Amino acid sequence: MNHPLCNPGEHAFSRRQFLGGVAGAFGATAFGGLTQPLQAEKLKQNDKQVLFVWTDGGMSQLESWDPKPNTQFGGPFRSIPTSIPGIHFSELMPRTAKQAHRLCVVRNMCTQDNSHSAGVGRINRGDPKNRGVTYPYFGSAIAKLLGPGKSKLPPFVWVKPGSGGFKPQLAGFLGPKYGALAFGDGKPPENLLRHESLTTEEDAERNELRELLNQKYSSRRRPQNTEASSYVFDTARELMKRSDVFDTTKLSPKDVARYGTHDLGQHMLIARNMLEAGVRFVNVTSYGWDTHGDHFNGHASLMPRFDQAFSSIIEDLDERGMLDNVLVVSACEFGRTPRINGHAGRDHWPEAWSLAMAGCGIQKGAVIGATNNNGTFVKDDGHDIGSVFHTWFHALGINSKDVEYHNNGQPLPLAHDDMHPIKEALA
């Protein structure tokens, strides 16, 4: 199944989109909540965290988690044994292969959308039934359900190459408060630190005045109108206190070398700092995986970087005793076609691909499902993203069948209500 080369615009927000989104953060009304306040309060006492690694464009399952060497579509790379007897990964990820006993790999992902514009949103939102509203990204859902925790730092942060800023559009009907705060190129927002011309006392007085004005403004209006604006200021103040989480200059040269000096390695180190600081949900994005042309050289460059950074953070979270508390996910919008196109590339393939997990609530050393000998299709019915969302929620201690959102009084399920968690993936 061949697809034309993608338009680069599918992989980036435009300046107009960004500015419009930020404006929306201060004007939109958020109605999203939970149907039971006591249940919501109990959820927010949960101290679980999430590291969500997104390989944008579509990592090839055949050059990573589900290799098919010496077959019609297997490609030039060999497979190598992992720390799980009988299970092999691609030779492009030797370090991750040694961590396989800590991972859970779902090899029978079978989703629907083969375009980036549809697939990215669908995988990140869990594809619930059409309710006439835009569902939140997983990070926004966790920010709402579990809150910022004791750290008071932004609950949903996004470390990525390129531009940063507040991304309210990811929160869907939950409202802009639960959008992502993106750190472009892993750097803190501009002008994060207090200006040197202001004393600490003057800054405190300015914030006190802001809070009083907000209270006066919202007293006769829906409080949600000022909620997002206040939230941005409050979390910015906490970030000012913890600017050290971005400071990679103090990291040991050994860690930098181990994770890699490339963007993904450095951003994964920042993610480690953020998780240690108590950030609830950290999304790390790597771009450039849409290899319609020169696929094998592309993945020969991309996969070692992923292998280096991903295996390092799994090792570190485990050594620090954090892996039992942090859900780690490696995902993308779809896999790549087994068939190799005329540009020596692999196109989009949602019908049979792989997703990896580790950490809290996840079964260690599990490999779930399988594809056929050539990797063209799954051997059974496969798992859609709705089931994976239920799995993630349950791994974090959230019963996705009992807990509901509400949107202006309308009850809404957390995930697709016809689907269920993948039992084999849960510890």
| pLDDT of the residue at 15 | 35
List pLDDT tens digits, range 116-161.
Answer: 999 999 999 998 888 899 999 999 999 999 998 888 899 999 999 9
Do 257 and 235 contact (CB within 8 A), yes or no?
A: no
| pLDDT of the residue at 23 | 38
- The backbone torsions φ and ψ at residue 102, rounded to the nearest 5 degrees and listed phi first, read -100, -5
Per the model's pLDDT, the better-predicted residue between 12 and 228 turns out to be: 228
Task: Work out the average pLDDT over 45-74.
Answer: 96
| pLDDT of the residue at 150 | 86
| pLDDT of the residue at 383 | 97
| pLDDT of the residue at 240 | 74
Predicted confidence (pLDDT) at residue 94 exceeds the cutoff of 80? yes
| DSSP H helical ranges for 320-424 | 385-395
List pLDDT tens digits, range 254-281.
Answer: 999 999 999 999 999 999 999 999 999 9
Task: Work out the average pLDDT over 213-238.
Answer: 67
Cβ contacts of residue 201 below 8 Å, gap of 6+? none
| pLDDT of the residue at 361 | 97
**138 vs 281, 329, 391, CA distance in Å?**
9, 11, 12
Q: Give residue 2's pLDDT band: very low, low, confident or very high (50, 70, 90).
A: very low
| pLDDT of the residue at 21 | 41
Q: Give residue 357's pLDDT band: very low, low, confident or very high (50, 70, 90).
A: very high
Exposure b/e, 83-115, CB count within 10 A at least 16 = b? ebeebbbbbbbebbbbbbebbbbbbbbbbebbe
Task: Work out the average pLDDT over 287-303.
Answer: 98
Task: Work out the average pLDDT over 82-104.
Answer: 98
User: How high is the mean pLDDT of the chain?
Assistant: 87
CA 134 to chain centre: 18
| pLDDT of the residue at 297 | 98
| pLDDT of the residue at 7 | 53
| pLDDT of the residue at 321 | 96
Task: Work out the average pLDDT over 28-35.
Answer: 52
Predicted confidence (pLDDT) at residue 29 exceeds the cutoff of 60? no
Indicate the DSSP class of residue 172: G
pTM, entire model: 0.87
Distance separating alpha carbons of residues 385 and 419, to the nearest angstrom: 9
Q: Give residue 247's pLDDT band: very low, low, confident or very high (50, 70, 90).
A: confident
| pLDDT of the residue at 225 | 56
Per the model's pLDDT, the better-predicted residue between 155 and 409 turns out to be: 155
Q: Give residue 228's pLDDT band: very low, low, confident or very high (50, 70, 90).
A: low
Predicted confidence (pLDDT) at residue 55 exceeds the cutoff of 80? yes
| pLDDT of the residue at 191 | 64
List pLDDT tens digits, range 178-204.
Answer: 999 999 998 877 766 666 777 777 777
Nearest to 258 by CA among 268, 250, 249: 268
Distance separating alpha carbons of residues 120 and 134, to the nearest angstrom: 14
Task: Work out the average pLDDT over 371-393.
Answer: 97
Per the model's pLDDT, the better-predicted residue between 39 and 244 turns out to be: 244
Q: Where does residue 372 fall: left (phi above 0), alpha (psi -120 to 50 degrees), or beta otherwise?
A: beta
| pLDDT of the residue at 143 | 95
| pLDDT of the residue at 427 | 95
Per the model's pLDDT, the better-predicted residue between 30 and 32 turns out to be: 32
Task: Work out the average pLDDT over 160-177.
Answer: 92
| pLDDT of the residue at 223 | 61
The residue behind tokens 């691609």 is 90
- Could you list the beta-strand ranges (E) of 186-254: none
Task: Work out the average pLDDT over 206-234.
Answer: 67
Out of 67-71, 207-211, 375-379, which region has the weakest mean confidence (pLDDT)?
A: 207-211
